[in-house]
Amino acid sequence: MTDLERRIARLEAEAEIRRLKARYLNACDAKDIDAIRDCFIEKGAEIVFPPIGTFNDREGLIQIFTQLAATTPIIDSHQGHNAEINIIDEDNAEARWSLAFVTYHPEQKTFRLLSNFYHDRYVRTSQGWRIAYSRSEPRLIFDGRVTDANGVEIQNIPAPTA
């Protein structure tokens, strides 16, 4: 590979990883289980998502996501920011992201607002870049309830758990 080819490949890797994370976050909101599954390596992905749980494989995440989101009326909004993507070599990369998350339960009228950092590692597979490790570091959580008469009731402000 020439030097120019190497530089182009690096830019392509960064663009593909940016798209991978976007696809993952949008798939969570769309409750598209197959698309979520396809964002991770097939076996052994490490997923550390307090307070929801820690998983040693993408199937663990899929299981809890199915319980909490895919089979309930909740409406989620996962929005990613401030990507610091570092291409380590041809097959390995890492990134820090900042997430804004809102979840709303239309029957219970409860919501959660969360800001976190994601600390991710990615590997290049024969199908393209995939998430091998993703750790969420919660920074700010607001839990509340929508009440028509009294406005938005904030039930508790958990301390950052990071």
**Residues lying near a second copy in the complex (CB under 8 A):** 4-5, 7-8, 11-12, 14-15, 18-19, 21-23, 25-26, 29-30, 75, 77-85, 96, 98, 100, 102, 104, 106, 109, 115, 117, 139-140, 142, 144, 146-148, 150-157, 159-160
Q: Between 63 and 147, name the residue whose CB sits nearer to a second copy.
A: 147
Cα(66)–Cα(72) distance, integer angstroms: 8
Q: Between 23 and 60, name the residue whose CB sits nearer to a second copy.
A: 23
Q: Between 133 and 142, name the residue whose CB sits nearer to a second copy.
A: 142
Q: Between 60 and 96, name the residue whose CB sits nearer to a second copy.
A: 96
Least Å distance between CB 141 and a second copy?
10
Least Å distance between CB 123 and a second copy?
20
